[in-house]
Amino acid sequence: MINLLIADDHPLYRDALKGALSMAFSDLNILESGSLNETVKVLHEHDVDLLLLDLHMPGSNDLFGLLHIQKTFPDIPIAVVSGTEDASLISKVVGVGAMGFIPKTASAQNISDAVNAMLAGDVWVPENVRQQIEHIDEHFSELAENVASLTPAQYKVLCYMRDGLLNKQIGYNLEIAEATVKAHVTAIFRKLGINNRTQAVLIANELQLEPPTK
């Protein structure tokens, strides 16, 4: 029995995906989640063999969320599901370490092919962009590695920094002392190879795919 987790905030598409996959696989146990937190919770509670992850989920922060899950569960293969077919995005996703990329426009056949390949341990990307992404952005994957090396606490602090909060406010939100926040901030700078908060925010923003136009 294979455990597969579909993480997408759109229930309709989740159902569609579930339908397509139940058709193609008989030994499939499908789990679902609709937010980043929920996804992490399910991953803790179950032994998931493959995660289909939508990038634009509440609390996900796009690539930020992908990195977070990858850091917490390094052994679970992740396939990114997204509406766009932008080659640069796909190369970023793969460069960050995802097992594959499934565009939402993919056919049922393509999807089951992809799931098959990834369960077997292969990287899968759609046919039509396979040529365009032979070259993966070096700078970007290095950046992703650095961010992935952050500890959970540091990760949270960076998220709050990206919201423009002061150290004192971050401490209040996380219920820790400002001194601790400062300690984390210093550690973040070291790991990212920078020396002030502005640069940290810039880097965090780069992992955001769409600007927070809200």
List contacts with DNA (CB under 7 A): 151-154, 166-168, 171, 174, 176-180, 182-187, 189, 195-198
User: CB 171 → DNA: shortest distance, Å?
Assistant: 7
CA distance 10 to 207: 22
Q: Which amino acid is at 19?
A: G
Q: From a second copy, DNA, none, which one binds at residue 72 (CB under 5 to 8 Å depending on kind)?
A: none
Establish if 135 lies at the interface with a second copy (CB under 8 A).
Answer: no
- CB nearer to a second copy: pick between 128 and 199: 199
How far the first Cα of the chain sits from its last, in Å, is 41
Establish if 159 lies at the interface with a second copy (CB under 8 A).
Answer: no
Q: For tokens 């917490």, what's the residue?
A: 72
| Angle in degrees, CA 68, 72, 76, rounded to 5 | 100
CA distance 38 to 35: 5
Establish if 199 lies at the interface with a second copy (CB under 8 A).
Answer: yes
- CB nearer to a second copy: pick between 1 and 139: 139
Establish if 213 lies at the interface with a second copy (CB under 8 A).
Answer: yes
